[in-house]
Amino acid sequence: MRLSRSHEKVLKRAFTSILAKEREEISKEAKQILGNRSIDIFFDWLSRFYAGFTNTIQGELLSVYLLMAESLKEQVDEEENSTQGMTNELITFVTSYVTVLSSRHIGQSIVQIKAALSKAGEQGSNLLDSLDETFQTWESDRINDEVSEETVRATNAITKQSYKEVGIRKLQWVADDDPCIFCQSLDGKIIDINGSFVRKGEEYQPEGAEAPLKPSRNVSHGPLHRGCECTIVSVHETITL
C-alpha cells in the first residue's frame, strides 16, 4: 500500500480549517478574559470550549476520512480480488478513529496553549502575544507535522482494517525509502494481523541502535516515530504439506 499525496492534500485542507477556527474563537475570548482576569479563568473557559469543539473537528473530518477509507478499501479489494466495497464495519471503524484523533488533537492544543501562557505568566510577558506566537507555530510547523503523521497513521490503520475485512490474517512491515535503524530492522517483519510489530513498553533495540525505543502503545503499523512513512502489506499464507 502506497501513501497517497492526494489524501495528504485533503487532510491539509481539513486541518487548516480546524486550526483557523480554533485560533479565531480562542483569540476572541482571550482578548476579553486575559486582558483583565486571571489565567486560571481562561483555562476553565478553554476546557469548556474544547469540550464543544470536538464536534466541530469530527464534523470537519468524518466525511474526509470516509472518502479516504472508500478509496483505500477499493485498492485493497482490487489487490485481494474482493468485491466487498465499503462495509458498515469500516464506517464504524473510521467513526471511532476520528473520535480518537479529535481528542488527540485537542489534547495537544490544550497542552501547548497552557504551556505558553503559564510560561508567559511566570515571566511577566504579554499573555496575548504569547498566545499569538503559539498560533503562529501551529501555522508554520504543527499543521505540516500533524498532517504528515496523520496521513501515514490513517492510511495504515484503514488499510489494516480493510485487510482484516477481506480475510487477510498476516501483515508485513514495509520500510519507507530512507528508513531509520528501527524501521529498517522492522522491514519485512511479518505478524499476525491482530498482533504488534513492537509491543507496548517493549525495549526495542535493533543492532546498531544507540538506545532502545520504548513505545507507549502496541505498534501494529507506522508511524513508529515522528517522520516515519513506513507502510504495511498483506501476506498470503501458503499451505505447506
Task: Please give the residue ranges that form the binding site for Zn ion (CB under 5 A).
Answer: 183, 224, 228, 230
Nearer to Zn ion, 120 or 154 (CB): 154
Pure H helices in the chain: 5-36, 39-79, 88-123, 127-137, 143-165, 181-186
User: In the numeric block, which cell numbers belong to residue 72?
Assistant: 483505500
Shortest distance, CB of residue 184 to Zn ion, whole angstroms?
8
User: Quick check: bond before 179 cis, omega within 30?
Assistant: no
Beta carbons of 16 and 4 less than 8 angstroms apart = no
Q: Which three cell numbers stand for residue 203?
A: 525495549
Taking the complex as a whole, how short is the minimal distance between the CB of residue 168 and Zn ion, in angstroms? 21
Shortest Cβ 196–Zn ion spacing (Å): 15
Task: For residue 60, report the phi and psi dihedrals to the nearest 5 degrees.
Answer: -70, -40
Nearer to Zn ion by C-beta: 14 or 213?
Answer: 213
Q: Report the nearest approach of Zn ion to the CB of residue 3 (Å).
A: 11
Between residues 117 and 198, which has the closer beta carbon with respect to Zn ion?
198
Q: Which residue's CB is nearer to Zn ion, number 49 or number 204?
A: 204
